[in-house]
Chain A
Amino acid sequence: MGKDSQARHQYSLGAIVQLGFRCWPYYRPQVPHLLIFVLLNTLIGGMILGGMVLANDVVDNKILLGERLEPLQARALFLDADYVTSGAEDEPPLSKDQRRQVRLGVLVLGALYMILLTASVALVWYYMVWIFQRINQQLRVEMLARAERLSLSHHSQSRTGDAIYRVYQDSATITNVLQFMLLTPLRILAWFAFGMVVIVLFSPWLFLFMVAAGVPIYCLMRHYMPKIRLAARESREANSELTSRIQETLAAIRVIKASGAEDHMMQQFGLESQQALDAAYRVRYYFVLLSVGVTLVGVSALLVAEYLMATWALSERATYMGAAIALVGFAVWNLGAFKAATGRGLELTKQAREFAGTWAIVQDLVVGLERAFYLLDLEPEVNEPEHPKAFPSPIQRVDFDAVHFSYQSQQKVLAGVSLGAEVGTITAIVGSTGAGKSTLVSLLLRLAEPEQGRVTINGEDIREMATEDLRGGVSIALQQNILFAMSVADNIRYGQKDTDQQKIQAAARIACADEFIQDMPEGYDTELGERGGKLSTGQRQRLSIARAVLRDTPILILDEPTASLDAMTEQAVMRNLAEWGRGRVVFIITHRLSTIRRADQIAFLEDGVIRELGDHQSLMAQQGAYSRFVEAETGEAR
């Protein structure tokens, strides 16, 4: 499910340029480094070119032929005046020993030159990797930060593997934007212009012929580009699905084992793996066909041109303005003119091929970039107020004010719930499975937004507070006890900055978790398994409670905190919490009667509204829904 339904399969040049520009904020911080990198590269290029020019002359003419040296050459090789040319026509060549001496100098300098050159090439390469990694890192982190702030309803519709694929594979395309969308095309254009000018000077007809060869190349590109784009998108989507498949399989491995579904799962994995490979193959298939096609057209044109030029050379036909290139040498078609023109022609076909390749690569880059930016473009459903109000302190009361809520495409979960809770009280929220209890409290954390109505603290709408402050003031022990593969202590202090061991231990005591933690091999430093495996559910529940307690917030929500605890532990935990909860607002969602009875008020939720509200005695006296619920719970247990 690559969910970006607005995915385009057509990109205008403008859209591509626009995507390129979106990368600028990530390149901008690295601009000084990029400039230094370009400078270093130019220096190295100069070094290579200069070295070649110098070495060629000294080796070919001086050592091999024995010509005398230029004064500068002699000085560079630390040789005296005996070696220097006088400029006379008939001067004697260098002696054999002198030639060996020149050779020694060349070898020493050459060795130094090679050491310097390879070392700097290697280091500049490392520097380049560093720069591009920094660009990629910035994008990755921004993508993840955004993904973490997206609403839960988005997350419930999208897959973890897809996010992983976008953050890793799609984001990596940004490191190639500079090269393939700017530098390479510029270089190709420059070579093109140069080659075309030379050919025009030799023969305008040849020029027209080469331009004509551009027509089929253009047609080939037009034909293959949409195919490559589509294949690139399919490939990225298929690989993202495969990543999700692996991640989901392993996250649910117990169920797969329990259902004996390993073979079924492997079949599906094999299928999706093959689909991903097929999609990747298709991209390369079109890529190769295009590249070969352009090559065939280009080289065919070259061969025809060669034939024409050879016949022109045979008839010694005059060139158009060949003399402009090499004074008089190329005024007529001869060997030199043939070679010069053929050289440019070969260069042009190479550039045409590279241009086609680059353009094809850009299609893949654009698809990858768009998938990466897609994540950044998603707006969190929870919108931050521009001038957030402070979280009220001290807290007096929390109110749900006629809130409505429904999940996408499903029936209404909450249909006008109003509920108030004062500081120092415990409110139990009771109701049948699926009545909307968890949804109701999640509104208080702005994990979801009510469609109508509002949630207030001390009468102030929570939408006017910063989400971060709000969540800093509300703790929740979730129904699903989510633990992370960290140490016990890190799990309890999760989401908190600095917390000392004593506070952690105190929180664990309130949750009746201290005892079993101490029994573990390394106590609070024991590493938990993946997703907190290795602990029983009851133990995990108590760690979740300790985590919520440690945050020490004025509002506490416990969602089925004690469902898996035995009666004795449960009562101990509840006693501790009741004491700890003085001066706070506590909400508890539970089915347990012993817990419910302790509550100051009980809200019975049914069909999206609060049917009954009051304490245990008064509700029992009503003989309504609540008392029927209690009877179901206790009726046979007595």
Chain B
Amino acid sequence: MSKTARFDDRVDTDPELSSGETLALLMRSLKFIGRVRVLFFYKVLFASVAILPPLILPWILKIIVDQVILQQPFQLEEVPFPPFMMPFIHLIMDMSPTGIMLSTTLLSFALLFIFGLRASGQFADLPQGHDAATQSEQAISSGSSEASGLWGTIEVLLTVRMTQRLANSLRTTLMGRLSRLEMTTLDDQRIGDSVYRVMYDAPMLPDICYKLTIAPLLLLISSALAVYIMQYSYGRVTPEIVWVATCLIPVTLLLTLPLSRIARRLHQTSRAAGAASVNSMEEGMDNIAAVQALGAMQKETERFNTKSEEAFRRHRHTVLLDAAITVIAYATITCGGVLAFILITDEVIEGVLTPGDYTAMIGILMTLMYAARSIGLYWIELQKNVAAVRRVFFFIDFTSELDRAQTPITVPQRGVYFDQVSFSYPDGRQALENVNLELPVGELVAVVGPTGAGKTTLAYMLPGYLRPSSGQIRFDDQDLSQAAVADIRDQVTYVFQEHMLLTGTIRDNLLLAKPDASEADMLEACRVAGALEFIEALPAGLDAPLGKGGNTLSVGQKQRLSIARGIVRDTPILVMDEPTAALDPRTENALVEALRETTRNRLVVVIAHRLSTIREADRIIFLDNGQVADVGDHESLMARADSLYRRYVELQAS
């Protein structure tokens, strides 16, 4: 733990991953191919066919040299042409050299435009940077083809689309899960880390799918073809060569296997370090006002410098590992080559093979060995991206609000009931203890108490942000622990103490709460919240754009807009957490008046310190140290000489 704490990850801290888990992750990644079935099918089709045209090329060149320039007749017995060339040979057999050249050129043109023959394959990759984050940009839109021309163009473009769709389906799933994590988890989950996982980890999925399916398939096809053609034309592929090449697969695999654990760890930590650098930057940028006000610019820059340097350093570790793997891979090829070299040269020295055979066989051997080496390296290559998708799947699997029971609930008619509710935070702090409460519909309820008494914790229970550690909360008779989160949130609106506005216009912010709100609804909500005045003063009114986090407004204006957003939602239960802290008394009194009017058929819960607000409440709940100390209205609580509430009020009024 101490080792990983440096990456300031709080939720996902363990970079270790066993081979079994890796295998499971790989299988799970493969399932995503199902989401791009059609594209995948076409990709396999196009890629398999694209291997074939290059096989024709040597024969075309041979015809140009032998039959055109040297003007020799076709000698089909000595070196037989492969069957796929025969139709063309029969066609040009009796032509003059000029005729043959013309036909060959026309065939070449056809193959050029269809398959891009005579040009190498086609790719669509742009250059990338030197850390995991900047390489993801390329990975999400990667695509290539062995062919060019029309065929290659189609294949590259459909590969790019397939890659994008695979990655997009994963990152959308991840984003959906992240936004529905439990509030207690979100408190611990760094925003920069989440950005990193969605933007930079998720794009690594397509490569896994590709490496596990299409790539080995193509290698096998092209190796088999190479062997077949050599066998057919020269009849001289000694089985030993094929065996030597095949043996390279397990040897490479075994040699790199011990490195796979290290590979996983290095790539995990490289990504965690990258995420930590994004965390640092995101935090500094998003809170720039505090950074500047506290004169911490230099320190923030240094912090980012350290984290970014660390991320680069960790990435270099993976480069070093890659280098080691490359050395191992070349060593195996060299050993295989040595063995085959001895086998072949022996036969040449003995006079069984000619030097010409040697050249041909070394050529095919190299093709086979590179193919074998690539397959042997697949396991270790896969580890890199497994590290990335593990980080993605971790949060897809993490307990979220969607994992709760899904019983639908109806609008509460009578009220909300707390039954022996206790709550402790994950770190052990107990915030509520045995709370029993009745909050009837139609009342304005004030929750009062000293700082840290558990007021916000209590209020967070209503929309289900927090769930009781023990005890039960009911809407009428419906147990909240069994209810679908979306249903609960449809009934409850929460206005936060710290107002959070989104970048966009004022209208966007209001519509976020209620997408179908009418102009009149919005203006009325703004009026109730005391926000209408300043909105009307803005040149663009409701359509005035707000800066980052609403920063073009003053704090009081933001607060009023947040309240308006809560009101426009028009739900049966409205919870306001210190709605008036930043409001001046006049605005506040008007707001409380307006709230009173709306409580007829709803429950309004207000956390407040201001006496003027509290006095208006039908019911006051006084919390102290996580327990309900007093319940009643202002008069009755003030009447009791020993009530904590009375002492609290007297202190405030003094």
| Interface assignment of A351: CB less than 8 Å from any CB of chain B | no
Q: Is the CB of B101 within 8 A of A255?
A: no
Q: Can you give 8 contacting A-B residue pairs, CB < 8 Å?
A: A140-B308, A148-B301, A157-B548, A295-B116, A480-B290, A485-B279, A529-B187, A564-B578
**Is the pair B285, A254 in contact by a Cβ cutoff of 8 Å?**
no
> In the assembled complex, which residues on chain A have CB atoms less than 8 Å from the CB atom of B299?
494-495, 497
Residues 596-636 of A, flagged 1 when their CB comes within 8 A of B and 0 if not, give 00000000000000000000000000000000010011011
Contact check: which of B295, B465, B585 meets A591 at CB < 8 Å? B585
CB pair B283 A114 closer than 8 Å = no
Q: Which residue in A246, A530, A565 is a CB contact (below 8 Å) of B451?
A: A565
Q: What's the least CB distance linking A426 to chain B, in Å?
A: 20
B95 contacts the other chain (CB 8 A)? no
Say yes or no for B442: interface residue by CB 8 A criterion: no
Q: Across the two chains, which residue of chain B brings its CB closest to A119?
A: B327
Cβ proximity bits B131-161 to A, threshold 8 Å, 1 near / 0 not: 1011001001101000011001100110011
Q: Report yes or no: B131 in contact with A133, Cβ–Cβ below 8 A.
A: yes
Stretch at the interface among B37-45, B79-87, B212-220, B341-349: B341-349
- Taken residue by residue from 453 to 491, chain B's Cβ proximity to chain A (1 for < 8 Å, 0 otherwise) reads as 001100000010100000000000000000000100110
Contact B612–A164 (Cβ < 8 Å)? no
Per-residue B-contact encoding for A106-145, CB less than 8 Å = 1, 0 else: 0100110011001101110110011011001100110011
Extra inter-chain contacts (7) besides given A148-B297, A258-B493, CB under 8 Å: A155-B288, A164-B282, A248-B549, A249-B179, A254-B500, A433-B584, A564-B497
Choose among B105, B294, B301, B428 the residue that contacts A494 (Cβ–Cβ < 8 A). Answer: B294
Bound-complex Cα distance A439 to B309 (A):
37
Contacting pair B191 A636 (CB below 8 A): no
Q: Which of A537-571 contact B (CB under 8 A)?
A: 537-539, 542, 547, 551, 560, 563-569, 571
- In the complex, which residues of chain B have a beta carbon less than 8 angstroms from the beta carbon of A393? none
Sorted nearest first, the 7 A-B pairs with minimum C-beta distance are: A172-B129, A433-B556, A538-B451, A156-B547, A122-B323, A495-B296, A529-B187
Task: List the A side residues contacting B149 at CB < 8 Å.
Answer: 292, 295-296
Chain A CB count within 10 A is highest, among B10, B305, B581, B587, for B581
- How far apart are A244's CB and chain B's nearest CB, in angstroms? 8
Chain B residues with CB under 8 A of A287: 124, 126
Q: Give the residue among B455, B566, B582 with the most A Cβ atoms within 10 A.
A: B582
Query: Is the CB of A277 closer than 8 A to any CB of chain B?
Result: yes
Q: Check A149 for interface membership: any CB of B closer than 8 A.
A: yes
Task: Please measure, in the bound complex, the distance between the C-alpha atom of A409 and the C-alpha atom of B498, giving whole angstroms.
Answer: 26
Q: Which partner residue on chain A sits nearest B460 by CB separation?
A: A254
When the two chains form their complex, are residues A168 and B133 in contact, meaning their CB atoms are under 8 A apart?
Answer: yes
Residues A161 and B195 in contact, CB atoms below 8 Å apart:
yes
Contact A288 B349 (CB under 8 A): no
- In angstroms, Cα B278 to Cα A299, docked, is 47
One of A243, A291, A527 near B10 (C-beta < 8 A): A527
Contacts A169-B137, A334-B69; A126 near B584 (Cβ below 8 A) = no
Partner of B538, one of A107, A255, A410: A410
Whether B584 and A409, one on each chain, are in contact in the complex, defined by CB atoms closer than 8 angstroms, is: no
Contact partners of A361 in chain B: CB under 8 A: 126-127
Interface membership of B643, Cβ < 8 A? no
Cβ of A65 under 8 Å from chain B = yes
Given contacts A125-B323, A292-B152, A633-B612, contact A529 B188 (CB under 8 A): yes
Q: Which of A155, A250, A306 contacts B551 (CB 8 A)?
A: A155
Q: How far is the CA of A569 from the CA of B648 in the complex (A)?
A: 11
- Cβ–Cβ contact B69 & A313, under 8 A: yes
Partner-binding segment picked from A69-77, A192-200, A259-267, A456-464: A259-267
Out of A259, A266, A521, name the residue touching B175 (CB < 8 Å): A266
Give every chain B residue within 8 A of A119 (Cβ-Cβ): 327
Cross-chain contact A530 with B189 (CB below 8 angstroms): yes
Q: What's the least CB distance linking A179 to chain B, in Å?
A: 7
B35 at the interface (CB under 8 A from A): no
Residue B557 interfacial (CB < 8 Å): yes
- Given known contacts A107-B341, A149-B297, A250 and B319 CB-to-CB distance under 8 angstroms: no
**Among listed A18-26, A278-286, A319-327, A395-403, interface-contacting one:** A278-286
Given A141-B308, A264-B512, A521-B427, A311 contacting B498 (CB threshold 8 A): no
- Kindly identify, within residues 542 to 591 of chain B, every residue whose CB is under 8 Å from any CB belonging to chain A: 547-549, 551-557, 559-560, 562, 565-566, 569, 577-578, 581-587, 589
**Contacting residues, chain B, for A47 (C-beta < 8 A):** none
The answer on a CB contact under 8 Å between A485 and B551 is no
Quote the shortest CB–CB distance from B319 to chain A (angstroms): 5
Residues of B within 8 A of A306 (CB): 64, 105
A547 to chain B, nearest CB (A): 7
Q: Are A636 and B612 in contact (CB under 8 A)?
A: yes
| A387 CB within 8 Å of chain B | no
Q: Is the CB of B124 within 8 A of A284?
A: yes
Interface pair A243/B199, CB less than 8 Å apart:
yes
A285 to B308 Cα, complex, angstroms: 33
Whose C-beta in chain A lies nearest to the C-beta of B306?
A141
Within 8 A of A (CB), among B321-374: 323-324, 326-327, 330-331, 334, 338, 341-342, 345-346, 348-350, 355, 358
Asked if residues B300 and A299 are in contact (CB atoms below 8 Å), the reply is no
Question: Bound state CA distance, A161 and B192, in angstroms?
Answer: 10
Cα-based distance from A233 to B348 in the complex (angstroms)? 60
Shortest beta-carbon distance from B459 to chain A in Å:
11
B211 interface residue (CB < 8 Å to A): no
| B639 contacts chain A at the CB level, 8 A cutoff | no
CA distance A564 to B578 in the complex (A): 7
| A64: Cβ under 8 A from any B Cβ | yes
Does B429 lie at the interface of the complex (its beta carbon under 8 Å from any beta carbon of A)?
A: yes
Is B405 on the interface with A (CB-CB < 8 A)?
no
Question: Does A468 interact with chain B (Cβ within 8 Å)?
Answer: yes
> Could you tell me if A310 and B64 are in contact, using CB atoms closer than 8 angstroms?
yes
A591:B130 contact, CB within 8 angstroms: no
Cβ-defined contact, B584 with A629, below 8 A: yes
Say yes or no: is A373 at the interface (Cβ < 8 Å to chain B). Answer: no
> CB < 8 Å: which of A123, A167, A445 contacts B293?
A445
CB of B194 within 8 Å of the partner chain: yes
Q: Does any Cβ of B come within 8 Å of A534's Cβ?
A: yes
Asked if B295 contacts A471 (CB within 8 A), the reply is: yes
Say whether A152 faces chain B, with CB atoms less than 8 Å apart: yes
Q: Which residue of B lies closest to A107 (CB)?
A: B338
Shortest C-beta distance, A566 to chain B (Å), equals: 4
A206 contacts the other chain (Cβ, under 8 Å)?
A: no
What mask results when residues 184 to 212 of chain B are scored 1 for a CB within 8 Å of chain A, else 0?
00111111101100110000000000000
Q: In the complex, A433→B347 CA distance in Å?
A: 96
Chain B residue contacts of A244, Cβ below 8 A: 503
Question: A133-B316, A252-B502, A281-B141 are known contacts. Are A103 and B345 too (CB-CB below 8 A)?
Answer: yes
Whether A560 contacts B153 in the complex (CB less than 8 A), given A157-B548, A169-B134, comes out as no
Partner of A539, one of B65, B98, B156, B452: B452
Q: Which of A505-521 contact B (CB under 8 A)?
A: 516, 519-521
Q: Which of A7-15, A32-40, A81-89, A268-276 contacts B (4 or more CB under 8 A)?
A: A268-276
Q: Tell whether, in the assembled complex, residue B285 and residue A239 are in contact, meaning their CB atoms are under 8 Å apart.
A: no
Q: Is the CB of A637 within 8 A of B611?
A: yes
Give the CA-CA distance A481 to B36 in the complex, in Å: 47
- Residue from A111, A167, A292, A478 within 8 A of B334 (CB atoms): A111
Query: Is A578 in contact with chain B by the CB < 8 A criterion?
Result: no
Collect the chain B residues with CB atoms within 8 Å of residue A569's CB.
Answer: 450-451
Contact assessment for B195 and A534 in the assembled complex, using a CB-CB cutoff below 8 Å: no
Against A, the Cβ 8 Å flags (1 = close, 0 = not) of B38-68 are 0000000000000000000000000011001
Q: Are B101 and A148 in contact (CB under 8 A)?
A: no
Determine, out of B164-172, B238-246, B254-262, the stretch whose residues face the partner at the interface: B164-172
A60 within 8 Å of B by Cβ? yes
B residues near A374, Cβ cutoff 8 Å: none
Q: Is the CB of B190 within 8 A of A530?
A: yes
Q: Is A215 part of the binding interface, using a Cβ–Cβ cutoff of 8 Å?
A: no
B592-638 with Cβ < 8 A to chain A = 609-612, 615
Chain A residues, CB < 8 A from B548: 155-160
Cβ of B506 to closest chain A Cβ, rounded Å: 13
Q: How far is the CA of A260 from the CA of B484 in the complex (A)?
A: 12
